Structure 1
Amino acid sequence: MKKSLIALAAVAVLLGCQQQEQVSSPSVVASDTTNLKLVSWNIEHLADEVGKGCKPRSQADYQALASYAATLNADIVALQEVQSEKALKRVFPESQWQYVVSSRADNEAYECRGHDGLFSTPQRTAFVVKKGINFIAQDDFKTLALDNPGLRYGTSISLNNGQLELLNVHMKSGCFVSDYRKDTKKACTTYQQQGPILEKWVNQRVENKQAFVVLGDFNHRLVDRNNRFWQELSKEDGERILLSSMQNLKSCHPKYKAPIDHIITGPISTQWIVDGSQKVDAFGKQGELDYKDMLSDHCPISLTLSIK
């Protein structure tokens, strides 16, 4: 971040104007640093309560998540599949973190596959921001949900008095083809509607010379050579305008190696990437993962920006 960050009092006033009840006002002064480590993590059905939801976890499981999360040394984490702020506090302690959770309403629960008698908990996008980093929570990016209660909102925050905007997305699952416009199954027809909405969001910020990062679970193999959506999203007049953190990396999943989680940087923020900082963190382990090693069905991915 810039050497001189937003004054604490000014941010408190601005935050007070926001309607995001989940945001806690910063309580300590930001450290004097230009580096910002961003992490994206689909944490898999993070529920409020022990033993609930489609990834029922014990108290020991929550503790394992919390212990591991501390090793990420992140400044900001964009999470997907989070029930609420209460669920976040089980993994990211309130003494160290601030929270922004999507306002998406609870959708109808379904019985969890493989867990008879257990029902799904709401899936929301969320940010956790290290205390001492000042930010403003933007309105949810609701249009990405297509007025469909089964789809997720985008969640957005801005930093450094609007110098940098972060958008956390969890796109429709089930469309894993190279050309999403040629597939007529429901998942792909939904993706065909979401795609242009996200592309418009990106193009507006490119035109306005706004620094931004889009990160999250895209549920799409964007770095495949022939992926149509990535070609549409990342190029303008034939010129590459976006970069994916996963361009030269693979997923950590024992079975699915083509990444569907991405941290995407625009023309300005790409210039801020610290060389070699793009990473897939396999829960602190080296080599091929076993299913038993996975605390969630996605591994966190990260990169560090040095903001000028």
Structure 2
Amino acid sequence: MLSLAACSTAPVNQPRTQREAAPADRSLKLASWNLEFLAEKDGAGCEPRTGADYQAMRKIADQLDADVVAFQEAQSRDAAARVFDPARYVIVMEAREGEASGRCGGRHPEQSFIRQAVGFAIRKNLAFDRHPDFTPLMLGSAQLRSGVDVTIRPKGHAPIRLLGIHLKSGCFSGTDAKACSVLLEQVPALEGWIDAAAAGDVRFAVLGDWNRRLGLGADSVWTAIDDGEPTNADLRLADAGTPPACDPRYDSFIDHIVLDRRAGLDMLGFTETRYAQGQKHYSDHCPISVSIK
């Protein structure tokens, strides 16, 4: 039987009266989950799964019960629909086809790579606008993911613009790793999107697999994007001060939900949903989520 645990933290730097001001039935739950090579078919990709594995992942998504989930590493809409029930969610994904080729290596050298794409699962009762994919993150390479850009317009809420991302892996901190030349080139493009959104009238969040430990002290990527110019680019890191519990090997998040000044003031709490002790990890990442007014 699937068993999940949720670790919640009260948001930092926010008065208790603000946290309790909005009734629970008026909160909006935003989540992010890297699905680790999620394939359309059983046994495919670098993390081959059985039908039972997909059923377990569907149950996790159902229990997460988020209004919007930014997801990463899904092969296609059909793959994502194996986890996010099409009766509950509309799935949107980046248009980039990618150029998946070669063997996986590691634990499954016999397996072939599949496309890794970014998308959103959006609850069906939520109105939303789909904007063009944010392709500057690709740096001209089909191997790098674009951003998926939507504006959610929930009834009874102010709208919120969301950018789902999956940055280059391998530059988790510092600047010396081989992958840093790529990730650090993606940062100015991302900052440009943030600054343009900050100058607009709609609050926003950037969520996904940043492949970067933004919560480490004086991280250069966080310093670059959290510059308060324009004013709404005074950002809030939802997991600030919270260590992950998904995998004991890691003591700092690389999946993040980053809120602009306006959305940050509306944040009610942060949660990491993790696998129970001894339970199979169906992905090498656990879902993270925030509730906002």
Pick aligned residue for 2:144 from 122, 142, 151: 151
- Could you tell me which of 233, 237, 254 is aligned with 1:260? 254
Q: Secondary structure at the match of 1:167?
A: strand
Deviations for 1:177-206, whole angstroms, at most 9, x for unmatched residues?
23x3xx2x4411111210011111111122
For 1:158 and 1:303, locate their aligned partners in 2 and report how far apart those are by CA, in whole Å: 17
Structure 2 residue 94 is the aligned partner of structure 1 residue 98: no
Cα separation, partners in 2 of 1:192 and 1:55, compared to 1, 3 Å: same
Higher relative contact order (CA 8 A, sep 6+): 2
Supply the distance in 2 between the matched residues of 1:84 and 1:257 (Cα, whole angstroms): 31
Task: Give unpaired runs (5+ residues) of structure 1.
Answer: 1-32
Q: Deviations over 1:112-150 (max 9, x none)?
A: 122132111100001001111111111111111101111
Q: 1:124 aligns with which of 100, 117, 120?
A: 117
Q: How does 1:105-254 map to 2 (within 5 A)?
A: 105-113=97-105, 114-160=107-153, 163-178=159-174, 180=175, 183=176, 185-236=177-228, 241-251=234-244, 252-254=246-248
Partners of 1:254 and 1:192 lie apart in 2 by 27
1:57 aligns with 2:53: no
Q: Does 1:76 align with 2:68?
A: yes
Residue 160 of structure 1 and its aligned partner are, at CA, apart by 2.1
Aligned residues with identical type, % of pairs: 34
| More deviation, 241-250/211-220 | 241-250
Task: Indicate conservation of the 8 Å contact 1:41/1:301, yes or no.
Answer: yes
Which residue identity is paired with 1:108? A
Q: Give 4+ residue runs of structure 1 displaced > 3 Å after superposition.
A: 237-240
Residue identity opposite 1:120 in structure 2: F
Aligned-partner residue type, residue 89 of structure 1? A
Instruction: Give the whole-Å Cα distance in 2 for the aligned partners of 1:278 and 1:108.
Output: 34
TM-score normalised by length of structure 2: 0.85
**Cα distance between partner residues in 2 of 1:108 and 1:61:** 23
**Contact 2:151/2:162 (8 A) holds in 1:** yes
Structure 2 gap segments, 5+ residues each: 1-24
CA distance in 1: counterparts of 2:62 and 2:230, whole angstroms: 41
Matching of residues 14-25 of structure 1 within 5 Å = none
Residue 209 of structure 1: how far off its partner (Å): 4.1
Aligned residues: 264
How far has the Cα of 1:164 moved from its partner? 1.5
After superposition, the CA RMSD in angstroms is: 2.0
